[in-house]
Structure 1
Amino acid sequence: MERPDFFTLKNGEKAKLPFSNEEYNQRLNKLRSIMDKDNLDMIILTSMHNIAYYSGFIYCSFGRPYGCIITENKIVTISANIDASQPWRRSHCENIIYTDWKKDNFLKAITSIIDENKIPKNIGIENDHITLEMNEKIQSIFSASAFTDISKKLMKLRMIKSKEEIEIIKNGARIADIGGEEIVKNIKEGATELEIAITGRDKMEKEIAKTYPDAEYMDTWVWFQSGINSDGAHNPKTNRKLVNGDILSLNTFPMISGYYTALERTLFLDNVNDESLKAWEANVKVHKRGLELIKPGVKCSDICNELNELFAELGYLQYRTFGYGHSFGVLSHFYGREAGLELREDIDTILEENMVISMEPMILIPEGNPGAGGYREHDILVIGKNSAENITKFPFGPEHNVIKG
């Protein structure tokens, strides 16, 4: 039996995607403008976030390569046979499926898209994602082509959100608040981080399904941390049982068609001691000032420097753990990151309309010191023409978040 190296399969009908065809076409037009300017004949996307951004399809690699080929007049995703026709149904473009019967059928699928009489002279790739092995293989099949890294230019395009993107981000922020409210209802002494996290995650997934009934549902999660487990922003939940007086870190992350949003809050169970209250109030003061500073025309590094000065005045700068905020969009803990839009000392990006960014100061006081624990607040802001809109509504600070369990 002769097995194909690759094939097409249109099984079923195209699904309703999170964005309109007009939205995807707008994105492609902007990308093709870059291709024209840089004299690129073809772009090979390999990352989850950029493939999702331009096609609508979010892949699950499980060790297999995936791609999206963009030329002057084509856009085609390349997916593994294990996914059958789901990549075609969940994208606004065409799809080619490669098989496992022979080695490097993924590469053969790429070449099948190219006109034999028009071998690309210049190809754009994502240097921040493509592996050394795959890079070598692609360069071997296009040995006469020159390769250009387009990852930073694509990131800059993603940093400015469309109206449709902002709508999905606003819904994500609303749903994150709903998850936070559900978590607070279930906080009590003796409950575990895991048990409490499950309630928030389930509540958010049901609300996502209610809001987006035609979507796929994956990757929504909660990190609910207590005591020493609050020391890192990305610490997984554990089976630790809550004890009165614990510092708590509530973190809800709804995922809607690849778009991540977040709510993060410091809480205490039943009571908060004086040293912990002092540290908490200092972090809240920085958070409030940061929210005031975020507006169009302001440089990211300038915000960071002013907040550093405030933390120093309060006596807590040495406990700061990371940047003060970051961009939102098509990203998650698996993929993405628009590093050019972060509130750090080394980022000089100017905030402008339709950017979306968080304010999230955090300090860590190590175990064994008065007020030990990780303190973090987190709001999401949409930059407008003259100001910024805070789309996070969940309250923060000691007057709201000392929870009587």
Structure 2
Amino acid sequence: MNRQRLNKVLKEMERKNIPQMLISDPSAIFYLTGKWIHSGERMLALYITSYGEHKLFINELFPVHEDLGVEKIWFDDTQDAVEIVSRYVNKGKSMGIDKNWPARFLLRLMELKGGSTFVNASEIIDRVRMCKDSEERELMKEASRVNDTAMGKIIDLIPQKYTEKKMGQILLGVYEELGAEGYSFDPIIAYGANGADPHHESDNSVVKEGDSIIIDIGCRKNSYCSDMTRTVFYKSVSDKSREVYNTVLEANKRAISIVKPGVRFCDIDAAAREYIENAGYGKYFTHRTGHSIGIECHEFGDVSSANTKTVEQGMIFSVEPGIYIPGEVGVRIEDLVLVTDDGCEVLNKYNKELTVIE
């Protein structure tokens, strides 16, 4: 177990008066133990307590031989796994439950431990994970360095006129060549009017002169994610598209410029959104300005008008304003920022000034 991370979680549990917690999310278990265990439909749970009785409940189908710093409690497919868990749970005390724990397990535990109070305690570990430690920061920087290189390689291929789908397939090979484990999410490559759909699924479209090209890509490197979007144009750019692009770029820069500890996430969102609204494109900016990222591409916490929490040192999140005009053009520019003691470091170094690919 990573004791420093575990102690942060236990401290938050104590603050919320939750003496015990079951964690089932594989990414959260990896965060605490350094081990990925993907159990599919079978039960997997890390039980942690304020009094130090930590256990990992794991099916024998997943032979984890290394010492994870926590006692392993094994079971097989013929046993009632939840009943085994119930033997260790302290009845009558508040029990924190992971939001991802399937209802079939939770309901069984509630049946066995009637009288206990069950609460969704995921926010505890989610909030701890928002602030990256020094090791995580370096891993995130490395993942973004790989993504910068991959972005350049993909943009260089635009004149080859591969379909959107083919570009995504090539990208996977690029990531493998660069030592990444693969995508952190399915890439979004959108030519022309396809870019007006923020979550366009790449298809067999081929780029045409004057098209904007949205390239939203990310890789997983050493179990940490990257995410970046660049928009370029093929052969020419219309005056309208240029105006849209420059508006999004300025919104991106304005939002990034105010990132520092103590600033509210909603104010970062407003810095981008208000600029786009004042330029007359407000109704075409249809999503939040950003999301937290780390072991998962989309983690707890976002950059939106609804999030009044304040930014803290060590947080990493995206700043990705966009304008999407149906049937015409889509532009999104996304960077990841790492909050420092007095501002932020932009993790993506790839050029984001308006570029026309010949």
TM-score of the superposition, structure 2-length normalised?
Answer: 0.90
SS of residue paired to 2:266: helix
Q: Note if 1:365 corresponds to 2:325.
A: yes
Query: How far is 1:320 from its partner?
Result: 0.4
Return the letter of the residue paired with 2:81. F
Query: How far is 1:196 from its partner?
Result: 1.7
Which residue pairs with 1:347 in the alignment? Answer: 307
Which residue pairs with 1:28 in the alignment? Answer: 6
Query: How far is 1:95 from its partner?
Result: 3.6
Match of 1:176 among 117, 142, 147: 147
User: 1:7-46 residue pairs with structure 2 within 5 A?
Assistant: 24-46=2-24
Which residue pairs with 1:288 in the alignment? Answer: 253
State the alpha-carbon separation in 1 of the partners of residues 289 and 177 from structure 2: 31
Match of 1:149 among 113, 116, 120: 120
Which residue pairs with 1:69 in the alignment? Answer: 47
Query: How far is 1:387 from its partner?
Result: 1.6
State the alpha-carbon separation in 1 of the partners of residues 54 and 146 from structure 2: 33
After TM superposition, the structure 1 stretch with the greater mean CA deviation from structure 2, 73-82 or 254-263, is 73-82
Q: Note if 1:107 corresponds to 2:82.
A: yes
Matched-pair contact (CA < 8 Å) for 2:251–2:321? yes
Matched-pair contact (CA < 8 Å) for 2:172–2:183? no
Matched-pair contact (CA < 8 Å) for 1:364–1:375? yes
Matched-pair contact (CA < 8 Å) for 1:189–1:242? no
User: 1:55-134 residue pairs with structure 2 within 5 A?
Assistant: 55-71=33-49, 72-82=51-61, 84-85=62-63, 87-89=64-66, 91=68, 93-102=70-79, 105-111=80-86, 114=88, 119=91, 121-126=93-98, 128-134=99-105
Query: How far is 1:119 from its partner?
Result: 4.5
Aligned-CA RMSD value = 2.4
Matched-pair contact (CA < 8 Å) for 1:78–1:96? yes
Which residue pairs with 1:5 in the alignment? Answer: none
Return the letter of the residue paired with 1:64. R
State the alpha-carbon separation in 2 of the partners of residues 90 and 194 from structure 1: 43
Match of 2:210 among 242, 245, 253: 245
Return the letter of the residue paired with 1:363. I
Query: How far is 1:207 from its partner?
Result: 2.4
State the alpha-carbon separation in 2 of the partners of residues 263 and 316 from structure 1: 22
Matched-pair contact (CA < 8 Å) for 1:357–1:382? yes
Q: Note if 1:403 corresponds to 2:348.
A: no
Change (3 A) 1:279 1:35: closer
Return the letter of the residue paired with 1:265. R
Once the two structures are superposed, residues 241-299 of structure 1 have per-residue CA deviations (whole angstroms, 9 ceiling, x without a partner) of 22232221112211134422111111112222222121111111111211212122211
Matched-pair contact (CA < 8 Å) for 2:29–2:46? yes
TM-score of the superposition, structure 1-length normalised?
Answer: 0.80
Matched-pair contact (CA < 8 Å) for 1:266–1:397? no
Once the two structures are superposed, residues 107-126 of structure 1 have per-residue CA deviations (whole angstroms, 9 ceiling, x without a partner) of 144246x28xx656221112
Gaps of 5+ in 1: 1-20, 210-216
Return the letter of the residue paired with 2:159. K
Once the two structures are superposed, residues 317-356 of structure 1 have per-residue CA deviations (whole angstroms, 9 ceiling, x without a partner) of 1100111122222213xxx5212xx221111111121111
Once the two structures are superposed, residues 12-41 of structure 1 have per-residue CA deviations (whole angstroms, 9 ceiling, x without a partner) of xxxxxxxxx6xx110111122233344434
Query: How far is 1:314 from its partner?
Result: 0.9
Gaps of 5+ in 2: none
Once the two structures are superposed, residues 195-242 of structure 1 have per-residue CA deviations (whole angstroms, 9 ceiling, x without a partner) of 222232222233235xxxxxxx35445332223332333333223222
Which residue pairs with 1:9 in the alignment? Answer: none
Q: Number of matched residues?
A: 356
Which residue pairs with 1:262 in the alignment? Answer: 227
Query: How far is 1:91 from its partner?
Result: 5.0
